[in-house]
Structure 1
Amino acid sequence: MKIRFLSSVPCALTIGGEYFGITDDFERFAEISLKDNLFACFSPQNALPLGVFLNDRLFFSPPEGVEAYLLRDGAALYARDFPPRSSEVRITAQERFVSDLITVYFQGGLHVSLETAKGFSVAPLAHYYEHATIKKRDGLFFIEGNNALCIFNASGKKLFDGEILSYRAEKGTLHTISPFRSGAALPCFGKQTDGQGAGGAEAGDKPLLHDEWAVTEDDCYLIGRTATGGKASAHEAYDFFERYRLGLDVTDFLAKDLTDKKEELSAFLGDISYVFPCDDENECGVLRKKGERVFEADYFRAEYDNGRICDLKKT
């Protein structure tokens, strides 16, 4: 089986005890026989390694920190989250609001503790909240990270967590501007689309999401979304699927026959977790969640009439 190896940070990869090379978010691959039950190990510089046995069970239940993608020509393994080396306790941010004490600290990973009149709770945080600013607005706690925002209520429930460029909070409403693709986006499967390589959008003209969220004491949900700026990619098919995944209006991509069949189109395409481009710019891959940390790919080819998509076929 052709297996691609990717990682969120540069890693030394060994397979069966032999050094294979350096992995990052651009694919390296090898032909592997799953019957050999080889052990693959991703070793980063500043964290503990992640190891996986390359066998059939891997694609049903990959270990914590590793995601598995089932593709038409094989599979991919993405080492996303690595356990930290240090277990020391280190406070990185802390604020007191009368009787409420909010602390961001590091202990084997980044966490936030909330001591409020409603009790005590602890929750994990992503690495971009290490140097956080903590604010309180309308009874909610806003933790501002490096281009990221997390919101908790006084009971410790996480209401919002996402990468953003800026935000504006009003009573009952949150307005955010964020990158077109989230931090959970898929690693590159051999073709870049975000302006860093052939087929990408022009630098400085990348699209942005403008979201409006309704915020209550116990919930936060999306009530409006628009996009500004250029295209996500010069590849029309990829741009269409990425906008569809994000719930944006895709009318301008569609011929009239498909515009009149939006409900049937949504039922045909289904829920999409990730989108990735193919070598053929009229073809696009989509990933659907199959299980915990397991995703399976479908592939679609777009056919055009006068520059608009008139048909979509599974390939």
Structure 2
Amino acid sequence: MDRIFNINKPKGMTSHDVVYKVRKILGMKKVGHTGTLDPDAEGVLPICVGRATKVSDLILNKDKAYSCEMTIGIETDTYDSSGEVVYKKDISHITEEEVLEAIKSQMGLINQLPPKYSALKVNGKRMCDLVRSGRESEIKIKPRQIEIKKIEVKNIDFPTISFEVLCSKGTYVRSICHDIGEILGVGAHMSDLKRIQSGIFKIDKAITLEELENYKSKGLLCENSYSIEEVLGEFPYIILKNNAVKYYTNGGIIQSYRFEEYTFTDSDVQARVYSNEGFIGIGKIIRKEKEISVKSEKLFKLE
């Protein structure tokens, strides 16, 4: 089975816990997730099975959307409710207008510092592990450019503010909350988080682990999952001529005169590749002087 499952991760489980459960339910070894979701968070966690694990990085690169609750006036060392309280401050002087202005400051392309309590690695070690083992001095955090494409405030009921955010990969919503607290001068932390979208995967189509087990017993797994081709549907495509397919699948570079048809534009760097028999995989578009060609990056059908 080479499929992608849109799992609704429950609170209290790590992403690796979900992988273990899916592996056990399906009786398969080759299972992987597409980006860590914190144990205290819930929501969309695409899980790739079989050869679909080859596209996990492509899914990981997509925009994400979250529903978040932020509590102001309390800062924690982890930037969320699982951490130790660093300090508490009075918020009686904070106005809704100040909160909205601070949230607005997070919009667009910004440089964000990830939390020290995160799975990002320094010299091969996770930062959170270094901090917990007393080696915080080894950590040199560099800001990363991310993009906040949309923030919509849903409710303000001090000390909590609820909002939805659409952001690029690599964004830490915990850091958004922390930075808003810094701007307001009273601290803040993320008190609740739900991932509601990851690329094409949305929360209203996500299935629980219990539902996955039920679909397995009833033989309905394919009807409740995604094919590799379906997940890559937004990529442009190239159809190779019959005499180019074997050379391509053996690692050869195919010039454009051996394309039967294509839809990529000048800005595209990858494309779905097809033979006349169907989907083959993902190819890298190469531009050299005036010549355009394609080389295989990921093969799925013909190996």
TM superposition score category, shorter chain reference: under 0.3
TM-score for the superposition, normalised by structure 1: 0.23
Looking at both structures, which has the greater relative contact order when contacts are Cα pairs under 8 Å and sequence separation is at least 6? 2
TM-score for the superposition, normalised by structure 2: 0.24
| Greater per-residue strand proportion | 1
